[in-house]
Structure 1
Amino acid sequence: MIASSTMSKESASSYDMAEFDQSAIFLYLDGHDQASIQEQRQTLNIFPSQPMHVAEPIPAKGGGMGMATALLANGNHSSPKRPEQGGQRSLVPSPPGPSVPAPKENKSGVTIAKKETPSSGGKGAGSSDQERVKDPKTLRRLAQNREAARKSRLRKKAYIQQLETSRIRLSQLEQQVQTARVQGVFSGTGGQLAGFPSAPSPAVAIFDIEYARWVEEHSKLMFQLRAALNEPLADDQLQGFVNAAMAQHEELLNLKGAIARVDVFHLLSGVWASPTERCFLWLGGFRPSEVIKVMLKHVEPLSEGQILGIYNLQQSLQEREEALSHGIDAIQQNISDIVAAPDVAPATFMGHMSLAMNKVASMEGLVRQADGLRQQTLHKLNEILTTQQAARCLVAIADYFHRLRALSTLWVARPRQEDGPGL
Structure 2
Amino acid sequence: MNFEHTDKVKELLARLERFMDKYIYPNEKTYDDQMKAFREAGNPWQVPQILEDLKPKAQEEGLWNLFLPESERGGGLSNLEYSSACEIMGRVGWASEVFNCSAPDTGNMEVLERYGNERHKKEYLEPLLQGKIRSAFLMTEPDVASSDATNIATRIERDGDEYVINGRKWWSSGVGDPRCKIAIVMGKTDPKADTYRQQSQILMPLDAKGVKIVRMLPVFGYDDAPHGHAEVILENVRVPAENLLLGEGRGFEISQGRLGPGRIHHCMRTIGVAERALEKMCQRLLSREAFGKKIADHSVWEQRVAEARTEIEMCRLLTLKAAYMMDTVGNKVARTEIAMIKVAAPRMALKVIDDAIQAHGGGGVTTDFGLAKMYSGIRTLRLADGPDEVHNRTIARLEFKKHMNKVRAAAE
TM-score of the pair, normalised by structure 1: 0.29
TM-score of the pair, normalised by structure 2: 0.30
Q: Larger C-alpha radius of gyration, 1 or 2?
A: 1
Which structure features the higher share of helix residues?
A: 1
Which structure features the higher share of strand residues?
A: 2
